[in-house]
Amino acid sequence: MERCGQKYMTKVVKLFGPLSRNYYVRAFLHLVLSVPAGFLLATILGTACLAIASGIYLLAATRGEQWTPIESKPKERPQVGGTIKQPPSNPPPRPPAEARKKPSEEEDEAAAGVSSGPQENPIPVTDEVV
């Protein structure tokens, strides 16, 4: 994933070609830049950081690592027809997934034993006409 501001440095590194992509060259460059700064006490911490960076680049180069630019790829739009596996069989509004499940054979046998007569309302309904 590209980091903030990385695309500008990528252009610079690409400009210098294989000279800037090679980690051996980077390790040597960091080491050479750290030597003059080591003679002043005020810059000794920067010298140490450059020397450590040189060692890290040298270790990465010996392990065969290589810098490759991160380039943005054009986003592919999914095909509308290709993503639909099977069109819906029920028209909207559809019941929830639990209600759409087909009853199993055991439930069919249990339902066959119960009479399918009218249901009784537990609350009596009275019709009052005034």
Report pLDDT for 81: 63
Query: Quick one: CA torsion of 6, 11, 16, 19, rounded to 10 degrees?
Result: 40
Dump pLDDT digits (tens) for 45-98.
999 999 999 999 999 999 998 887 777 677 777 666 666 677 777 777 777 777
Mean pLDDT for the chain overall: 78
Flag whether pLDDT at 13 surpasses 90.
no
Rounded to two decimals, the pTM is 0.50
Of 1-10, 19-28, 33-42, 73-82, minimum mean pLDDT range? 73-82
Higher pLDDT, 44 or 117: 44
Classify residue 41 by its DSSP letter.
G
Report pLDDT for 96: 73
User: What percentage of residues in the chain have a pLDDT greater than 70?
Assistant: 78
Report pLDDT for 58: 94
Q: How many residues in total does the chain contain?
A: 130
Report pLDDT for 105: 53
Nearest to 1 by CA among 72, 52, 104: 72
Report pLDDT for 47: 92
Across residues 18-23, what is the average pLDDT? Answer: 83
Give CA separation, 9 vs 21, 52, 71, 106, in Å.
12, 22, 12, 68
